[in-house]
Amino acid sequence: MAVTIESLFGGTVAKFEQGDPPVDIAKLRTAHPEHWMRAAAIRTLTLDAVAAANSGHSGMPMGMADVATVLFEKHLKFDASAPLWHDRDRFILSAGHGSMLVYSLLYLTGYAEMPLEEVKNFRQMNAKTAGHPENFLLDGVETTTGPLGQGIANAVGFAIAEETLRARFGKKLQDHYTYCIAGDGCLMEGISHEAIALAGRQKLSKLIVFWDNNNITIDGTVDLSDRTDQPQRFKAAGWHVQEIDGHDPEAIDAAITAAKNTGKPSMIACKTHIALGHAQQDTSKGHGALTDADQMKAAKEAYGWTAAPFEVPAEIKAQWEAIGSRGREERAAWEARLDEQSDRRKAEFARTFAGEAPNKLSSVIRALKKQISESAPKVATRKSSEMVLEVVNPVLPETIGGSADLTGSNNTLTADMGTFDETNRKGRYIYYGIREHGMAAAMNGMALHGGVRPYGGTFFCFTDYARPAMRLSALMQVPVTYVMTHDSIGLGEDGPTHQPVEHLAICRATPNTLTIRPCDTVETAEAWEIALTSQKTPTVLALTRQGLPTLRKDHKVKNLVAQGGYVLADSDGKRQAILIATGSEVEIAMKARDILQEAGIGTRVVSMPCMELFAEQDLAYRRKVLPAGPVRVGVEAGARAGGWDKLLLGERGREQKQAFVGLDRFGASAPIDELYEKFGITAENVVAQVKALLA
């Protein structure tokens, strides 16, 4: 394919393909006139909204308007009056910058949440029509996209959810497709590799991805940076592939139909022209905001569009609204089938999709806590986590667990889960492979779909790989659970590439994220209870590789981790020192306390498994746990930047003598005890710090 690349930065524009005849817009218009006008509505609304905002991305919706129109008109199972219908097909725009495509569709088909006013307010303060589509602003937006590659990886999760729920509740209640539009950017991102390979391996045959094959990225033509043969790539991953003209509604229709019955995930390569019909068609400028009034006018003329800005002729609007209500009968039939179910099944279905934990959860947690407080085992908290999952998974049938190829290390597999794959959709354990990022994004997709509560594991250090998806978990407000083991230098000889230092800081700095680092099995059980009852917040569990003693030997029904931090052991005698510790270092703090008490220094130990939850407690409680007066020493095998200044220096800027025993540098490869010794994270050093502060 000989492509003329004339760089944007040389002042000229990139060409679609040398030798290709220019697009004959008139021919497109007349070939399928009614379709054309429906699609033109998307194109013109996009142009108008972006121009009004003087900001945004015009070209992508203009390029994929035909595909979207055919999809919505002929295939997508949905009902605009019921955006959250549990058996709707899912439509995901991985190329999230093309948000006006979604917004146009929601408006045209008649979603109540998308009146014209919102379209006109595109990208303005308080509008639901944010620059990139946000799931928490609009019911009609399945997932928040913008960061490229995330949507297609979420789509894998949506497809997994459909499979598992169909296995659970039957085809009559769960039988839908997941459609996803992805662009060249998405397909260059590494996460797309993970998503595509996982979907192929899992034979997710109800996943259909449209590749917006427009040959354009921001910096120029795709060829500037990539020459991957996408069809061959997808085939290599086990996908079914078709290549079509992305502006031919008949071809689009036939391809979607064919895609539904291949037994594999399906990719439809749609050859398109970005900013079709506009002067910037097929250029990287066409990717961005097309605001030139004359050019917009000319494009509309080319479309045969005569309505005023933001106006859609009544006839065309009516056609779109008919599309929006096309699924009403099917939904009514579905509602009827749901209603025919037993009360118990209906309740379970509702509970599952509402993300509400069953009553049994708290009782099994409580029973486990009691048993642990009595037997007081010494186990790594990754093992504690497994013990919790062993009692939880049987009573929470909606959990789907997995690991990025560290199942034995993350302890994420429990008895009788069964492996989820194409031979066993009732399986509840997914072998994600070495795909931390793809796993996290799939988990997001599952949670967003509803009816599934996913958890996934890897080494805590490799949250780095999953980072963009973990941020989106927080932004999108999905209650996924990250089981992150080997959480410090405590992992020993694997060394600094594997030893987290700043990772607690990273997770704690991310808004809407609970980072819980439990000190023993009881705290781990409480942490899981919090994670599994969360509705809008993801949880990161930081768990040890190494064994820890049970410190919570005094059984309490109350979930103390829910307070974020609490007094584990108070001082004997006048309180001169407060030790604040998390996870594996709580044991160290308790040992230090023993030594200090022996020396007559009254010492309180505060376990602080979750700083975010502690910060949410009222001031009175926080002052009760951390009163002014005593010196404070924090102990955590991680960076001080992980929220310790606030806890140690005190929030009020009053005088506070304090010290931190932790690790602000990369670790080293050696056995665990030598590492703790080397870095001074020992009871002896904590004692020395206290004494120095009291001197």
Sequence ranges of the binding site for Mg(2+): 184, 214, 216
Backbone angles phi, psi at 182, to 5 degrees: -130, 145
CA gap 321, 105 in Å, rounded: 10
Least spacing, CB of residue 484 vs a second copy, in Å: 14
Residue with smaller CB distance to a second copy, 166 or 471: 471
Which pair of structure tokens corresponds to residue 328? 């009403």
> Measured between alpha carbons, how far is 350 from 169 in angstroms, rounded to an integer?
11
Residue 677 annotated among the catalytic residues of the structure: no
Q: Which amino acid, residue 150?
A: Q
Whole-angstrom CA distances from 497 to 156, 225, 486, 532 are 30, 30, 12, 31
Q: Are 171 and 105 in contact (CB under 8 A)?
A: no
**Pick 74 or 467: Cβ nearer a second copy:** 467
**Cα–Cα distance for residue pair 30/122, rounded to 1 Å:** 32
User: Cβ of residue 448: shortest distance to a second copy, in angstroms?
Assistant: 15
Query: For helices 521-533 and 360-375, what crossing angle results, to 10°?
Result: 170
Q: Shortest Cβ distance from residue 227 to a second copy (Å)?
A: 5
C-alpha 441: how far from its chain's center?
Answer: 5
DSSP type of residue 546: S
Residue 217 contacts residue 284 (beta carbons within 8 Å): yes
Of 134, 398, 436, 585, the active-site residue reads 436
Binding-site annotation: residue ranges for thiamine diphosphate: 97, 146-148, 185, 214, 287, 462
Nearer to a second copy, 113 or 223 (CB): 223
Least spacing, CB of residue 387 vs a second copy, in Å? 16
Q: Where are the beta strands (DSSP E) in 438-492?
A: 453-459, 481-485
Closest CB to a second copy among residues 315, 664: 664
To a second copy, the closest distance from the beta carbon of 32 in angstroms equals: 33
Q: Which long-range contacts (CB under 8 A, 24 or more apart) does 127-130 make?
A: 129/49, 129/99, 129/103, 130/99
Residue 61 — φ and ψ, nearest 5°?
-60, -35
Smallest Cα–Cα separation from 326: which of 100, 71, 135, 113?
Answer: 71
Question: For the chain, first and last CA: distance in Å?
Answer: 78
CB 360 to a second copy: min, Å: 26
Which is closer to a second copy, CB of 37 or CB of 610? 610
Q: Which is nearer to a second copy, 192 or 685 (CB)?
A: 192
* Residue numbers annotated as active site: 436
